[in-house]
A and B are shown apart, each in its own frame.
Chain A
Amino acid sequence: MSVDMKKMDVHPPRPEMRPSRLSWITRIYIPMILKGMLISLREFMRKPVTIQYPEQKPKVSERFRGEHRLTKDAEGHMKCVACYMCATACPAHCINIEAQAAPPEWDGRDKIPSVFEIDMLKCIYCGYCVEACPKEAIEMTNKVPKVYQTRQEFIYGLNKLLNN
């Protein structure tokens, strides 16, 4: 059985990227220039889209992944049980957790973190830590990450994350 090579070629013929010969109305430039100038005039009349950033905050979406927050349960204790799941899932290795025994009166958990640090300079805001967490103890706010003067200030500790 012979195969028709032409039929095997499934790609449709490529459309020309641009006409080989421009029409005369394009080649005398003037009408096209006027058209372009009308377009830029229309943009000129519209409102600027720039916002004055530090004074004016941008409107971000509901699902925006901003700075992290550690959540609390109904008793006001932090939900985190220091299981290291978020630190393991983190592709940027920006989470540093040190565990300690939970106080006996906190029920339902053996451990809580004594140190919970996120290096905001390393974080890529991917949200994998939120996905990995079995206790829904970490979530992302829609606060735009801030700017500081020293590297140390970018490392958010337990208190800052709980109150974020």
Chain B
Amino acid sequence: MISMVLTLLRNPLVLAVIKMFVAIGVVMSAVPMLVWLERKLSARFQRRIGPNRVGPMGLLQSIADAIKLMWKEDFFPRNTDRLIFLAAPIMAFLPGIISFSLIPVGQAEGAEWLGPNGVMAVSYLEMGLLVMMAVSSLASYGLAFGGWASNSQYPLLGGIRSSAQLISYEIVMGMAVIALAMKSGTLNLSEIATQQQGWYLPHWNLFLQPLTFLLFLIAAFAETNRAPFDLPEAEQELVGGYHTEYTGMRYAWFMLGEYAGLWTMCSVIATLFLGGWTLPAAWMGWVGHFPWFVAALISFGIFIAKVVALVFFFMWVRWTLPRFRWDQLMKLGWTILIPLALANILITALLMEYGGLYVR
């Protein structure tokens, strides 16, 4: 029976379908947990208790909310562009899942059929980092379209803000990634992750390239539309921004999209800067003795732990910092971060050429 399943798994098509379901499953099950975590953490940061009525510690709160949203009235504002109005929430949600499918979540050594070297990723691409950059910025189309199709002032402002913010901070993120790619010498996400394992502890890109990390982190905050850069949905000034006119399940899709984006962005940062599924010690030495599925579970666990730690950090920042003003956001992006990102590329290049710091 088990051998039959294993033979079936070696069929690339079957494997691809299973991997797809796993990737979607991971994101879709992570999102309600993130919503719960956000509410719990925000409560604790404000010395409240947070949801604690539905299920143990309020864990089922997200499910209760989803059921409530499904029963809400399905409302269309007048004179909306129906097609775009309907497509926008899905467009905001899909990039999160698609870019998560590029991220290697673990390694099962000895299971070559899973992927090269047993790397567990839905799609193992040589230019994974590039594709990730391309796909993850698509989420902003969802917000812009949602804002446009609503035919209402606040959503339109939110959509415009989202586009402008994306244009500004995508450049910063791209330039940060350039420096990282120069240092790594590859765009393959799993290779970038494996490069960061090593005996001496701070082999992570976080310590080797602190400025790159900082730039990428700031851009990631802007990309995921989270405080202090949550201008597109600023509740206090835009009444929710791009999703003001959305109700029920379509609103829920926007929320899912936001948290899926957060989850994916944290996975990306974990892969690029915290060494992905690897530990600083050369862990393959002792994990390699385990059967492949144990190694897979351990590496996946390490990866998830890093991502959750990053999610906590994102939420910690959100509940600490006030929102930037619109002109401050633009000024920070164009006059500080972009020159800094250029300087970062230059510094990295000089260090590679003359410093001999990143020679492998």
Contact = CB atoms under 8 A, between A and B. Distances in A.
Interface of A: 30, 33, 36-37, 39-41, 43-44, 46-50, 52
Given A33-B321, A37-B317, A43 B48 contact: no
Q: Is the interface of A mostly helix, strand, loop or mixed?
A: helix
Contacts, number: 35
11 contacts: A36-B321, A40-B316, A40-B319, A41-B316, A43-B46, A43-B47, A44-B316, A48-B44, A48-B47, A48-B49, A50-B49
Given A33-B321, A44-B44, A47-B47, 10 more contacts: A36-B321, A39-B320, A43-B46, A44-B41, A44-B45, A46-B47, A48-B44, A48-B49, A49-B48, A50-B48
Interface string B301-317: 00000000000000011
Nearest to A33: B321
B43 interface: yes
A37 B320 contact: yes
Contact of A52 (B41, B45, B49): B49
Interface in B21-57: 41, 43-49
Contacts of A44: 41, 44-45, 316
Interface residues on B, range: 10 to 19
Contacts of B317: 33, 37
Contacts of A37: 316-317, 320
Interface in B262-293: none
A36 B317 CA distance: 9
B219 to A, nearest CB: 15
A163 B41 CA distance: 45
Contacts of A49: 47-48
**Nearest 9 A-B pairs (CB), nearest first?**
A40-B320, A50-B49, A48-B49, A50-B48, A49-B47, A37-B320, A48-B47, A36-B320, A44-B44
B320 A50 contact: no
Contacts of B316: 37, 40-41, 44
Interface string B42-75: 0111111100000000000000000000000000
Contacts of B320: 33, 36-37, 39-40
Contacts of B46: 43
Contacts of A50: 47-49
Contacts of B214: 30
Contact of B45 (A30, A33, A43): A43
A40 B321 CA distance: 10
A110 B202 CA distance: 91
Contacts of A46: 47
B40 to A, nearest CB: 11
A48 B43 contact: yes
A40 B45 contact: yes
Contacts of B41: 44
A58 to B, nearest CB: 14
Interface in B202-221: 214
B60 to A, nearest CB: 18
A49 B316 CA distance: 19
Nearest to A51: B49
A49, A50, A52: residue with the most chain B Cβ atoms closer than 10 Å: A50
A37 B319 CA distance: 9
A49 B46 CA distance: 9
A33 B317 CA distance: 9
Nearest to A32: B321
B175 to A, nearest CB: 19
A43 B320 CA distance: 11
A153 B48 CA distance: 32
A49 B45 CA distance: 11
A30 B217 CA distance: 13
B44, B45, B214: residue with the most chain A Cβ atoms closer than 10 Å: B44
A35 to B, nearest CB: 10
Contacts of B319: 40
A41 B316 CA distance: 8
B217 to A, nearest CB: 11
Contacts of B49: 48, 50, 52
A46 B320 CA distance: 15
A36 B228 CA distance: 13
A40 B194 CA distance: 35
A19 B47 CA distance: 32
A30 B321 CA distance: 11
A82 B214 CA distance: 76
A41 B313 CA distance: 11
Contacts of A52: 49
Nearest to A41: B316
A47 B41 CA distance: 13
A45 to B, nearest CB: 9
